[in-house]
């Protein structure tokens, strides 16, 4: 991963940044899926954590080899978003950059469907499953998230994103179609 490309949201009086980032990220997910890309990672350099401030920010950074980023940008995945973003050209990653794992985190949010699945899996009544799941669901999540639609299931969900600790060495690996990985790092600067 020797290059990166920043996509920044423009302020919009009609749409909050969170809605625009969700739309942008959903479009990226579809593009990565359609390209079968497992070599492009993402990060959110301006993300904020904390229960009251958990936002991915207004900048999405794509990481990869220059040719691969150019291939992604050559397809029309930004259709409908061009008026809402400013796009920078791919640039070389600074030599002194640190590295981070950027991964998806899943949490028990206490949804009825989750309680139903838990009850079925453990052979208990739904009411008991809901009671057991109340405590974990009550905790407050401090990670940034985006609302996205899954390409495979079509379902909308909150995708919580965790930026791991900075480290000096990069770790190679594969990324999913959200540009996230549990083992591979992206440059952080």
Cα angle: 183, vertex 175, 49; to 5 degrees: 70
Phi and psi at residue 21, in whole multiples of 5°?
-65, -40
In the DSSP assignment, the letter for residue 3 is E
Candidates 3, 29, 47, 99; catalytic one: 29
Helical segments of the chain, H only: 17-34, 66-74, 112-122, 126-138
Using alpha carbons, list the distances in angstroms from residue 1 to 168, 174, 186: 14, 12, 7
3 is a catalytic site residue: no
Nearest residue to 91 via CA among 64, 120, 51? 64
Q: Token pair 């453990």 is at which residue?
A: 122
Hey, which residues are catalytic here? 29
């Amino acid at each position: 991963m020797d290059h990166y490309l920043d996509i920044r949201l423009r302020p919009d009086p009609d749409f909050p940044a969170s809605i625009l980032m969700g739309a942008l990220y959903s479009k990226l997910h579809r593009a990565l899926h359609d390209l079968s890309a497992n070599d492009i990672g993402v990060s959110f350099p301006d993300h904020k954590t904390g229960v009251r401030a958990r936002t991915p920010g207004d900048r999405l950074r794509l990481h990869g080899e220059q040719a691969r980023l150019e291939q992604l940008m050559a397809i029309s995945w930004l259709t409908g978003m061009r008026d809402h973003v400013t796009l920078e050209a791919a640039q070389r990653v600074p030599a002194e950059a640190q590295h981070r794992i950027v991964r998806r985190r899943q949490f028990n949010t206490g949804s009825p469907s989750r309680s139903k699945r838990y009850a079925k899996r453990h052979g208990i009544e739904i009411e008991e499953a809901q009671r057991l799941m109340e405590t974990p669901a009550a905790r407050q999540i401090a990670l940034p998230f985006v609302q996205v639609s899954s390409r495979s299931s079509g379902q909308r969900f909150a995708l919580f994103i965790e930026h791991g600790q900075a480290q000096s060495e990069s770790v190679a690996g594969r990324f999913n179609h959200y540009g996230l990985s549990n083992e591979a790092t992206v440059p952080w600067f």
